[in-house]
Amino acid sequence: MADIVSGEVRSRMMSGIRGKDTRPEMLIRRALHAGGFRYRLHEKRLSGKPDLVFPRLRAVLFVHGCFWHGHDCHLFRLPSTRTDFWRDKIAGNVERDRRSTEALRDTGWRVGTVWECALKGKTRLPLASIVDSLALWLRSDQVFLDIRGAAV
């Protein structure tokens, strides 16, 4: 199936997609800040430039979009045009995520991930429940956290 918009329009649309300060990320940031947590943003010196870094707690948090990070949920669907390009692009993102997580773990950081499907769509969880889970994890010594949407 051909794209319904011209190449120039598609390019403009894609360039408008943000890599940081996304709506899901802002929801999590505001809620954690209101809960008393202080963090740094997008620390370039750390592998993968985590969305939130909690230096005192030796923890980092990624807020991943399900499409861009190839999450197996209802929000991810491989595009029907340029399928090979998108498959390679998303597989590269997934591999980069894996390497970043491994590098962070090797240097003593705890790694948490909140998936977009936990915050929107038919599998979303209540924001208060996500924030409670994050707060418990941040105060614990648990190494990994993965928050995804509810099972349907």
Do residues 88 and 78 lie in contact, with contact meaning Cβ atoms separated by under 8 Å?
Answer: no
Element (DSSP H or E) covering residue 10: helix 7-15
Enter the pTM of the model.
0.87
Each domain of the chain, given as residue ranges in start order, spans 12-44+51-147
Which stretches of the chain score pLDDT less than 70?
1-3, 5, 10-19
**First and final C-alpha spacing in the chain:** 30
The rounded percent of the chain whose pLDDT value lies above 90 is 79
For residue range 101-143, list pLDDT tens digits in order. 999 999 999 999 999 999 999 999 999 999 999 999 999 999 9
Dihedral over Cα of 142, 145, 150, 152: its sign: negative
Fold adopted by 12-44+51-147: Endonuclease; Chain A (3.40.960)
